[in-house]
C-alpha cells in the first residue's frame, strides 16, 4: 500500500487548489496519507510514494507553476506513480465528455509515463485576478463549472490503484 501522496497544483485564482484539496481529501478517506500543496512551494518529491499534479489551463497551457514543477522534479516523478489533471473549460464540456490533455501536458505524460490525465471544468468568479479573467467574468462567461462528484470519483479510482502498486523502498 502506498502511504504518502503529494497533490501538487498550479493555480491563479484558487479554483485548481480547491480541486487538489478535494483529491487529497478523498485519498485520505481511502486511508492514504495525502497533502495538497502549491507546486510553487514544493522543494522535493523524494519522500512521496506517488504524485498527482494539477494545473489550471490558461490560453491552452498549464499554469506555469505546474509546468515548472514537472520540469524541476521530472527525474523523481518518472520513478513513481504519477497522475495529471487540468482544470479550465468555462462550460459543461468537461462533465459531458473526455477532454484530452493540451499538447504540453501530453508530452510530459509521455516523457514521465504518467498513468492518467483528466480535464475538469474550471471556475472563474467575481474577484478573479488578471485583465483577461476580469474581462471574461464581466462578459458573463465566467462561473463555476467544477463537477465535484466527477472529481471525487476520479480521486477514488486513483485510491483503489494504490493497493496494486508496490511500495518503493
Within a domain: residue 67?
yes
Which residues are CB-contacts of 163 (< 8 A; sequence separation ≥ 6)?
Answer: 1
Task: Kindly give the interhelix angle for 15-29 and 148-162, rounded to the nearest 10 degrees.
Answer: 40
76 within domain boundaries:
yes
Number of neighbouring beta carbons within 10 Å of residue 44: 10
Tell me, yes or no, whether 169 lies in a domain.
no
134 pLDDT above the threshold of 60 = no
Count of H helices and E strands in the chain? 7, 8
* Structural domain includes residue 168: no
- How many domains does the structure of the chain reveal? 1
Residue count of the chain, please give it: 169
Query: Mean of the per-residue pLDDT values for the chain?
Result: 88
The tens digit of pLDDT for each residue in 57-84 reads 988 899 999 999 999 999 999 999 999 9
Which class for 121: exposed (0-12), middle (13-18), buried (19 or more C-beta within 10 A)?
buried
Within a domain: residue 83?
A: yes
pTM metric for this prediction: 0.88
Burial-class residue 131 by CB neighbours within 10 Å (0-12, 13-18, 19+): exposed
Domain, as residue range, for 101: 4-162
Distance CA 16, CA 64 (A): 13
48 found inside a domain: yes
Tell me what the mean pLDDT of segment 20-40 comes to. Answer: 96
Position 110 in a domain? yes
> Which spans in 30-120 are helix H?
64-72, 74-77, 93-96, 103-112
Residue 167 inside a domain? The answer is: no
Cα–chain center distance at 160: 18
**What's the CATH code of the domain at 11?**
3.40.50.360
Most confident segment among 38-52, 82-96, 111-125: 38-52
| pLDDT tens-digit series, residues 94-126 | 889 999 999 999 999 999 999 999 999 988 766
More confident residue, 111 or 91: 111
List beta partners, residue 120: 87
Q: Which residue is listed with cell 492514504?
A: 32
Amino acid at each position: 500500500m502506498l502511504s504518502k501522496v503529494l497533490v501538487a497544483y498550479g493555480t491563479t485564482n484558487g479554483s485548481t487548489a480547491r480541486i487538489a484539496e478535494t483529491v487529497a481529501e478523498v485519498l485520505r478517506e481511502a486511508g492514504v496519507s495525502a497533502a495538497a500543496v502549491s507546486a510553487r512551494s514544493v522543494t522535493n518529491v523524494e519522500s512521496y510514494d506517488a504524485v498527482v499534479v494539477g494545473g489550471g489551463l490558461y490560453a491552452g497551457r498549464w499554469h506555469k507553476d505546474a509546468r515548472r514543477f514537472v520540469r524541476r522534479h521530472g527525474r523523481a516523478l518518472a520513478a513513481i506513480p504519477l497522475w495529471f489533471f487540468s482544470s479550465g473549460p468555462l462550460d459543461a464540456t468537461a462533465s459531458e465528455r473526455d477532454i484530452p490533455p493540451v499538447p504540453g501536458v501530453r508530452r510530459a505524460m509521455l516523457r514521465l509515463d504518467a498513468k492518467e490525465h483528466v480535464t475538469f471544468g474550471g471556475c472563474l468568479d467575481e474577484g478573479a485576478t488578471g485583465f483577461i479573467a476580469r474581462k471574461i467574468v464581466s462578459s458573463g462567461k465566467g462561473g463555476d463549472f467544477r463537477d465535484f462528484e466527477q472529481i471525487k470519483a476520479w480521486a477514488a479510482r486513483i485510491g483503489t490503484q494504490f493497493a496494486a502498486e508496490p511500495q518503493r523502498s
